[in-house]
């Protein structure tokens, strides 16, 4: 029997310490388990994510002898994933690190490399695994990639099977068209996976905290997204955050040139007053393609050139042109009732009926959507399916595939295809689908937020906490940040109103009619003032909004000066006036129809691009204005102009109209020439001027065409004290 009093002090304490550890192990067996390092891979494996994992691997507690990797990923960088795999392989070889892999859904693309490192392999129900080069087909040669993946496989009774699988996942087997992707059944049949498990079972088995793997309710969380947010949005804890805000929201109106001018002005404002990031709230049914293209390009340029990331916040609708704008944003967040898609371009056909646009327009827009999606690492096939209803999309083995025809759809077997976009229907995604297919980054569930007061809306400033986005992970750390909403000032609103098709057409009409009436009556008065005012407003609004260039203004002003010089001198026989009219017309068309330089016409198919469709729309307004102007000028020339000429006006008077020199004015009807009497035009009548009848000079108006100086005339009628004449040849 061991007596404690015979032990020395050191042995005494060692004895009690051993007893204490044994008791703790009996009470809590989990505490005796080896500690584990945990990697949660969701979404895309990018350089930032890989670097973070490698840093954790190098700085982790040496007592953590297990590395657990939970995978649910279908994309990423192949080279960066290989770098991570090599680091894990080195740690396993040098430090005895044990690698446990758990495929919790999908391991397709570069992440499919990691299961080949496993010492223990678990899968969730309906797991899929394979197609290693997905999205990186040209980055690493197949023979090199196959060799690198096979070199990661640990020795064991399954190593031969794993080497064969690695080769088939890198490049298709003989007689196969696609790289190998296997599901739950085949994984278990090959004996590769130890068992089907769940995340909770894994946590319990390796004494992990549950919070390390669970995503907040209502959100789709990926370490990749968190890393991208941290990299893109730099937060200074010493400063009060400032968040830019603009919105495109209205179910009743459409995206138009006015919307583009609003966004353009807003981005110019935020370039001068730089926020930490910019929120674009979208709730729109779509609109003009050309305007949306310009908005999308401006947002993308603002993000990349100014270094200010744009976060699209879809509050219900991002339909048609709205989807294109959303795709141009670095991050997309959506409310639970959000939807995005249905972007087929249409034109107005016969009888005002909406018709599908030409294949050229459809193809160009399809490419535009794909490029916008690809720019921020989103699936371009999904974007194209929003534009083209003939595209068939299915989900097969965790991947989104574009099929050539309906016969390629896998309808039977263990894992049939899930049809995402059937033939004949445009793709529209709801909020959950947007997150599932990585179009949107997160879905926001309804939560109680503070109400933005009318005073705050009027000032354009309110606390960020009053927006639903502030409750999302990462954004919830922006305590005290302030939203700075762009508010278009009265001056800009006025200019945007003037630049709208309706108002600019009315200004054009006022310019033409005012100029015609001014040329039809002597002196300078109200019509000339009206014409100059309309011209001034057209030029001012277009230059202020940078719609027109100075070249168009020079053409207009130069043309008007040429016409005025022709009227004043009459030296060119009308040539100078015709050139001036041509110059003025070219300038006015350039001002009225912006975007001419972007028009592309395909002669083989007889189709226009989206810019061409927009230009045709503005040309229709211009031609309609011209038709109305011609009709009004005809009516004015017939009924109103002769009466206006007889009214008292602001005219230049002087010795040239003295009675001693033969001029007669203000005569009674008895002193006027008789109807039918002949004479000669003393000046050019355009249509007013001077005529000589029976040796006396009279103020006269031509009825119809201009009458040149020296031509014979006949008095056709008298209108009060006004003498109305026509050419003798017209009698």
Residue 653 pLDDT more than 50? no
For the chain, the distance separating the N- and C-terminal CA atoms, rounded to the nearest angstrom, is: 150
Phi, psi torsion values for 710, nearest 5 degrees: 95, -10
Structure tokens at 191: 């004996």
DSSP SS3 for 701: strand
The DSSP-derived string for 596-647 is GGG--EETTTTEE-HHHHHHHHHHHHHHHHHHHHHHHHHHIIIIIHHHHHHS
Residue 615 pLDDT more than 80? no
Q: 162: which DSSP letter? A: H
Instruction: Specify the pairing of strand 128-130 against strand 354-356.
Output: unpaired
Structure tokens at 519: 């040329």
281 vs 248: CA distance, rounded Å: 6
How high is the pLDDT of residue 201? 81
Give the model confidence (pLDDT) of 461-489 as tens digits. Answer: 999 999 999 988 888 888 789 999 998 87
DSSP SS3 for 694: coil
Q: 707: which DSSP letter? A: B
Structure tokens at 366: 């399809």
Within 10 angstroms of residue 435's Cβ, the number of other Cβ atoms is 20
611 vs 615: CA distance, rounded Å: 6
Residue 22 pLDDT more than 70? no
Residue 319 pLDDT more than 90? yes
Range of 2-16, 123-137, 619-633 with top mean pLDDT: 123-137
Q: What is the mean pLDDT of residues 318-341?
A: 94
Residue 1 pLDDT more than 60? no
Give the model confidence (pLDDT) of 200-231 as tens digits. Answer: 787 777 766 544 444 433 334 344 677 788 88
DSSP SS3 for 225: helix
617 vs 627: CA distance, rounded Å: 16
pTM above 0.85, yes or no: no
Give the model confidence (pLDDT) of 663-676 as tens digits. Answer: 444 566 677 888 88
Per-chain mean pLDDT for the chain: 80
41 vs 223: CA distance, rounded Å: 7
| CATH numbers and ranges of domains, the chain | 26-212 (3.90.226.10), 239-349+428-488 (3.90.226.10), 491-547+594-646 (no CATH), 655-730 (2.40.50.140)
Q: pLDDT confidence of 604, banded at 50, 70, 90?
A: low
Closest CA relative to residue 664, chosen from 653, 672, 652: 672
233 vs 441: CA distance, rounded Å: 15
């Amino acid at each position: 029997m061991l007596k404690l009093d015979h032990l020395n002090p050191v042995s005494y304490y060692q004895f009690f310490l051993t007893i204490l550890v044994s008791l703790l192990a009996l009470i809590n067996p989990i505490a005796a388990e080896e500690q584990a390092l945990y990697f949660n891979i969701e979404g895309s494996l990018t350089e930032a994510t890989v670097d973070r994992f490698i840093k954790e691997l190098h700085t982790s507690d040496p007592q953590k002898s297990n590395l657990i990797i939970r995978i649910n990923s279908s994309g990423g960088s192949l080279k960066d994933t290989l770098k991570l795999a090599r680091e894990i392989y080195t740690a396993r070889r040098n430090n005895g690190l044990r690698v446990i892999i758990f495929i919790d859904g999908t391991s397709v693309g570069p992440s499919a490399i990691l299961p080949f490192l496993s010492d223990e392999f678990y899968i969730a129900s309906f797991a899929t695994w394979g197609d290693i080069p997905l999205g990186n087909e040209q980055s690493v040669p197949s023979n090199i990639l196959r060799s690198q993946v096979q070199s990661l496989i640990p020795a064991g009774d399954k190593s031969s099977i794993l080497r064969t699988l690695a080769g088939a996942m890198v490049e298709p087997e003989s007689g196969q068209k696609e790289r190998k992707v296997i599901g739950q059944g085949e994984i278990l049949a090959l004996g590769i996976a130890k068992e089907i498990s769940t995340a909770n079972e894994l946590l319990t088995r390796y004494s992990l905290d549950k919070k390390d793997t669970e995503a907040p309710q209502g959100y789709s969380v990926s370490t990749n997204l968190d890393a991208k947010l941290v990299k893109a949005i730099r937060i200074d804890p010493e400063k009060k955050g400032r968040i830019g805000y603009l919105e495109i929201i209205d179910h009743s109106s459409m995206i138009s040139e006015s919307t583009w001018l609003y966004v353009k002005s807003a981005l110019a404002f935020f370039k001068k007053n730089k926020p930490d990031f910019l929120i674009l709230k979208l709730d729109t049914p779509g609109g003009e393609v050309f305007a949306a293209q310009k908005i999308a390009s401006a947002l993308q340029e603002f993000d990349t050139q100014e270094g200010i990331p744009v976060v699209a916040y879809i509050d219900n609708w991002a339909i048609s042109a709205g989807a294109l704008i959303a795709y141009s944003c670095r991050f997309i967040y959506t409310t639970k009732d959000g939807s995005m898609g249905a972007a087929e371009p249409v034109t107005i056909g016969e009888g005002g009926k909406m018709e599908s646009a030409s294949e050229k327009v459809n193809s160009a827009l399809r490419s535009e959507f794909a490029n916008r999606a690809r720019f921020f690492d989103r699936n371009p096939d999904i974007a194209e399916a929003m534009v083209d209803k003939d595209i068939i999309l299915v989900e097969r083995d965790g991947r989104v595939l574009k099929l050539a025809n309906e016969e390629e759809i896998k309808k039977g077997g263990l894992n049939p295809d899930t049809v995402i976009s059937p033939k004949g229907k445009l793709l529209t995604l709801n909020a959950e689908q947007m997150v599932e297919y990585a179009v949107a980054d997160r879905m926001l569930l309804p939560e109680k937020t503070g109400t933005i007061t009318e005073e705050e809306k009027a000032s354009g400033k309110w606390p960020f906490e009053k927006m639903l986005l502030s409750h999302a992970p990462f954004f919830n750390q922006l305590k005290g940040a302030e939203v700075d909403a762009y508010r278009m000032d009265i001056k800009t609103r006025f200019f945007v109103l003037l630049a709208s098709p309706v108002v600019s057409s009315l200004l054009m009409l006022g310019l033409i009619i005012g100029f015609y009436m001014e040329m039809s009556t002597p002196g300078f008065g109200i019509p000339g003032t009206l014409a100059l005012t309309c011209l001034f407003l057209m030029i001012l609004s277009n230059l202020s909004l940078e719609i027109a260039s100075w070249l168009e203004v020079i053409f207009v002003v130069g043309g008007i000066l040429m016409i005025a010089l022709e009227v004043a001198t009459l030296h060119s026989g009308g040539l100078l006036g015709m050139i001036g009219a041509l110059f003025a017309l070219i300038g006015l068309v350039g001002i009225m129809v912006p975007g001419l330089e972007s028009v592309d016409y395909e002669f083989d198919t007889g189709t226009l691009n989206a810019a061409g469709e927009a230009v045709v729309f503005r040309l229709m307004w211009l031609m309609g204005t011209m038709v109305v102007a011609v009709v009004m000028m005809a009516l004015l020339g017939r009924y109103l102009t002769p009466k206006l000429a007889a009214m008292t006006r602001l005219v230049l008077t002087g010795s040239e109209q003295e009675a001693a020199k033969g001029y007669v004015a203000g005569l009674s009807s008895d002193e006027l020439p008789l109807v039918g009497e002949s004479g000669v035009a003393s000046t050019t009548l355009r249509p007013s001027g001077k005529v000589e009848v029976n040796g006396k000079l009279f103020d006269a108006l031509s009825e119809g065409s201009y009458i040149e100086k020296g031509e014979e005339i006949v008095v056709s009628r008298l209108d009060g004290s006004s003498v109305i004449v026509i050419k003798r040849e017209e009698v």
